[in-house]
Amino acid sequence: DQQVKQNSPSLSVQEGRISILNCDYTNSMFDYFLWYKKYPAEGPTFLISISSIKDKNEDGRFTVFLNKSAKHLSLHIVPSQPGDSAVYFCAASATGNQFYFGTGTSLTVIP
Amino acid sequence: NAGVTQTPKFRVLKTGQSMTLLCAQDMNHEYMYWYRQDPGMGLRLIHYSVGEGTTAKGEVPDGYNVSRLKKQNFLLGLESAAPSQTSVYFCASTKGAWRNNEQFFGPGTRLTVL
């Protein structure tokens, strides 16, 4: 049973525009969330995190928003660049426990 | 600094064969993990280790064994491979406990069991 869901398998965005990747979770005990980026033939690399005590965390062009009541988080990339084309995974954990990963969203940024 | 490396990168096995996947990290990390990634599913934790000589079960441990004899190495074994174990396997490591510590991933091993 998938506790972390990314319902959009793919997303295409024009260069310079905003990319919004969404993630939903079912376990109300989750209180720490991560986004990873993965290029083909490589392992995932950490992008940005957020704790449940916050509703927003920003790092350069990347911002993660957390809506605890809706059990929803999103990753915004502004402006999108062709090098951002990759698969993005969200992951969530409850205190002291493992991370559960979503199925990933493949982002294509069109030049 | 090689980070996290995995050996081999690809492997094809017949049902019932055995093999060992090797993960090595040169960052002196305490924690190491093995995940599998299947189409339509997120990465799922197989086993993990919180230090040399320790191992623990993750979400999907059945059919796998692990060993952490040296701090820098984490081995994943398949004693009798089954087609259901066809997957991409990722190893990862963290400096400390998984929360608040970035997981560094290896490039993956693509395993096909016929």
Looking at the predicted structure, is the pLDDT value of residue A84 above 90?
Answer: yes
End-to-end Cα, chain A, rounded Å: 38
How high is the pLDDT of residue A6? 96
Name the phi and psi angles at B69, rounded to 5.
Answer: -75, -30
CB distance B41 to B98 below 8 Å = no
Q: Which of A79-88, A91-100, B4-13, B78-87 has the lowest mean pLDDT?
A: A91-100
Q: Which residues of B touch A44 (CB under 8 A)?
A: 43, 90, 103, 105
Closest of B69, B45, B68, B71 to residue B58, by C-alpha:
B45
Q: Tell me: the pLDDT tens digits for B43-102?
A: 999 999 999 999 999 999 999 999 999 999 999 999 999 999 999 999 999 998 877 678
Q: Which residues of B touch A101 (CB under 8 A)?
A: 35, 42-44
Q: Cβ separation of B58 and A98 shorter than 8 Å?
A: yes
Residue A37 confidence class, pLDDT cut points 50, 70, 90: very high
What secondary structure letter does DSSP report for B103?
A: P
Q: Best of B4, B10, B99 to disrupt the A interface by mutation (most A CBs within 10 Å)? A: B99
Neighbours of A8 (CB within 10 A): 15
Distance from CA of A51 to the nearest CA of B (A): 9
